[in-house]
Amino acid sequence: MLFKLDLEKYNFKEYKAFDVNLISIDPRVRDMCAQNLCGFYGRNHMCPPSIKEIDEWKKEIFNFNNAIMVTKVYQAESSYDIEAMIEGSKDFQKTLSGLREELSNEYSYSDFLLLGAGACLICEKCSILDDKPCRFPDKAFPSVEACGIDVMSLSKKAGVKYNNGKNTITYFAIIFYN
């Protein structure tokens, strides 16, 4: 498959192809989700412990030959600006949803994988809270960290800026494809 999406139009701060073999999958990264600092652990179909086990992600990820890391940067008033984090996260999810839709129009599901940042925010209230299956399994996707990928370390290896300056928030996603 030739990757022919125009990533320019998504206004990413950076998008950079990198070698999939730079990725290491570490269960400790996913285990950090269990600390539930974001409040979504067990409360979102796209978060642990609901998503697939780490070994399954490992298999799936290393089935792809190519990867692109994308980032978007948001301004905050301070490093404790929760409102900016939430707004940034919503905007990033919206951008990735558009990207995912374009990917699924162009390619079959087995030809790509998108991993984003944070919990899935498609529905106002995730159906997991009502003990119901995901409403949009074809649209939802998990985060990079939930699959055991340490973004900080990978961004350094991939040559993508992790920190984009004082009082900024950088969100990361990865597109895998063959």
Contact residues toward ligand SF4 (CB under 6 A) are 44-46, 120, 122-123, 126-127, 134-136, 140
Least distance (Å) between residue 57 CB and ligand SF4: 16
Least distance (Å) between residue 152 CB and ligand SF4: 25
Give dist(CA 74, CA 84) in Å, integer.
7
Select 46 or 115, whichever has its Cβ closest to ligand SF4: 46
Cβ neighbours for 84, distance < 8 A, ≥ 6 positions apart:
74, 75, 76, 77, 169
| 18, 69 contact by CB (below 8 A) | yes
Phi, psi of 68, rounded to the nearest 5 degrees: -130, 130
Give dist(CA 89, CA 86) in Å, integer.
5
Least distance (Å) between residue 116 CB and ligand SF4: 11
Least distance (Å) between residue 178 CB and ligand SF4: 25
State whether residue 32 is helix, strand or coil. Answer: helix
Select 44 or 170, whichever has its Cβ closest to ligand SF4: 44
Select 133 or 165, whichever has its Cβ closest to ligand SF4: 133
N-to-C CA span, the chain? 6
Cα 161–Cα 165–Cα 171 angle in degrees, nearest 5: 55
Least distance (Å) between residue 123 CB and ligand SF4: 3
State whether residue 112 is helix, strand or coil. Answer: strand
Select 140 or 175, whichever has its Cβ closest to ligand SF4: 140
Q: Which of 148, 101, 92 is nearest to 121 (CA)?
A: 92
Select 71 or 143, whichever has its Cβ closest to ligand SF4: 143
